[in-house]
């Protein structure tokens, strides 16, 4: 299956969903004008990935500086898909990265993890 790579912009995050390594990364800022238009390919890719995954482990890495309300709903939809993969027996986990001292983003991660069964790790990034 093809990898999904979308270059980020000022309003959309970098997407690098690699089916070969099982690392699915979403990084940057997410404030698209129409969130569902941006996230639909990601959700569709995940649907395909569920039935075609060949990697031992899958990790969804989320590193967002900021996202708008509609993106928060789309991110939840992604998490639900990953959660469903986990329930289907796939070895999958989510890593939620936040910048040092960014308590709002840390707590946003905690809010998401409360709704999910999939292993969810909240990781603080140290400033370089």
Partner 1 sequence: MAKRHVFEKETAILEHIQEFLAKDGVSKDEYKEELLQIKNYYEDLLDQGMLITKVSDRLQNKLNNLNGKLQDKNVELQNTIDELTKARVGRKATTIVLLVAVALFLISEGVLEPQIEAQIGDNIWLGLLFKGLIALLLKPIETLTEKYLMNQALKGNQKPGEPASNPKN
* Residues binding partner 1 (CB under 8 A): 34-37, 40, 66-70, 72-74, 76, 102, 104-105, 107-108, 111-112, 114-115
In this complex, which beta carbon is closest to partner 1, that of residue 66 or of residue 88? 66
CB nearer to partner 1: give 47 or 111.
111
Q: How far is the CB of 40 from partner 1 (least distance, A)?
A: 7
Whose Cβ is closer to partner 1: residue 15's or residue 108's? 108
HEC sequence for 14-74: EEEEECCCCEEEEEEEECCCCHHHHHHHHHHHHHHHHHHCCCCCEEEEEEEEEECHHHHHH
Hey, CA dihedral for 40, 98, 49, 19, is it positive or negative?
positive
State in angstroms the smallest separation of the CB of 67 from partner 1.
Answer: 7
SS3 at position 83: helix
Q: Which positions ≥6 away from 52 have C-beta within 8 Å?
A: 1, 19
Instruction: Show the tokens assigned to 112.
Output: 């998401």
The distance of closest approach from Cβ of residue 108 to partner 1 in the complex, given in angstroms and rounded to an integer, is 5
Of 41 and 57, nearer to partner 1 (C-beta) is 41
Cβ 121 to partner 1 shortest distance, Å: 18
């Amino acid at each position: 299956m093809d990898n999904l790579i979308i270059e980020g912009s000022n309003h959309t995050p970098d997407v690098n969903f690699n089916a070969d390594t099982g690392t699915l990364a979403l990084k940057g800022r997410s404030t698209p004008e129409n969130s569902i238009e941006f996230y639909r390919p990601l959700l569709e890719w995940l649907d395909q990935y569920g039935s075609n995954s060949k990697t031992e482990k899958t990790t969804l890495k989320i590193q967002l500086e900021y996202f708008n309300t509609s993106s928060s709903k789309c991110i939840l939809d992604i998490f639900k898909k990953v959660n469903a993969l986990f329930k289907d027996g796939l070895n999958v986990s989510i890593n939620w990265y936040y910048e040092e001292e960014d308590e709002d983003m840390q707590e946003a991660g905690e809010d998401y993890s409360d709704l999910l069964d999939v292993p969810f790790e909240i990781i603080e990034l140290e400033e370089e």
